[in-house]
Amino acid sequence: MRPGELIASDRVRGPLGTEDLSRAWHVLGAVMDPEVPVVSVVDLGIVRAVDEQDGELHVVVTPTYSGCPATEVIERDIEQALLGAGFAPRLERCLTPAWTTDWISAEGRERLRVYGIAPPVGSSSKLSLLGKTPEVCCPQCGSAHTERLSEFGSTACKALYRCKDCLEPFDYFKCI
C-alpha cells in the first residue's frame, strides 16, 4: 500500500450528504478526457448525475457516442479518481438519451478553443432541423473564412478544417 492510499474499509459509504456529493463533483471535474486532455468529463457533459444509492456513490455516465474507443478508459479514470478520494463508486453507463454536444459547458467550449479545437457551433438539434452547415471559426485567428477538408479529424467526433486566412489546419468538434 502506498502512503495516503485508502483501504476498502476507509472508503466513504452512505449515507452520503450534500458535502460528499459536492466533493465527488469536484473530484470528477479534475478527470480529463483522454483524447482532449484540457476538458474534463464534467465539462464535456459525460457525467450525467451523481447521487447516493444503497450507501454507494452512484455515477451516471453517457459516452460521447456508442463506439467511442475512450469509453472504458474514461470510466476507469472516473472510478480511480473517486476511489482515490475515498468513495465507493458504482458507475452506470446510460445510452439514452444519447449524448449531445449541447451538453458541453461554456467553460469546456472555451478550453477547446484555447487548445486549438473549434468548439461545436450552435445546437445540434437546431442545426439538423434547419439543414444548416455551421459557420466554424478558426481557433487560432478567429476568422470565419474556413473550409472543411475532411468529415473526420483526429477522432470520429471531429472534422478537419483549414483557415483560409492564417492557413492553419484545425479540428472542429462536430455538433452531435
For the cut 60, the answer to whether the pLDDT of residue 127 exceeds it is: no
Cβ–Cβ < 8 Å for 156, 67? yes
Final residue before a domain boundary, out of 93, 118, 139: 93
First to last CA, the chain: 43
Final residue before a domain boundary, out of 28, 61, 93: 93
Q: Which three cell numbers stand for residue 124?
A: 445540434
- CATH, residue 25: 3.30.300.130
For residue 6, the number of C-alpha atoms closer than 13 Å in the C-beta half-sphere is: 15
Cβ–Cβ < 8 Å for 152, 158? yes
If you write DSSP's letter for every residue of 42-54 in order, what string do you get?
Answer: TTTT-EEEEEEET
Q: Identify the residue with better confidence: 84 or 135.
A: 84
Banded model confidence at residue 3, pLDDT cuts 50, 70, 90: very low
Q: Which domain holds residue 55?
A: 8-93
Let me know whether 22 and 82 are in one domain. Answer: yes
Let me know whether 111 and 139 are in one domain. Answer: yes
Residue 17 lies in a domain: yes
- pTM for the model: 0.80
Let me know whether 16 and 84 are in one domain. Answer: yes
Let me know whether 114 and 168 are in one domain. Answer: yes
Rg value, the chain, Cα? 19
Under 8 Å CB-to-CB from 111, ≥6 apart: which residues?
38, 39, 43
Cβ–Cβ < 8 Å for 52, 94? no
What was the pLDDT predicted at 130? Answer: 55
Let me know whether 12 and 89 are in one domain. Answer: yes
Residue 86 lies in a domain: yes
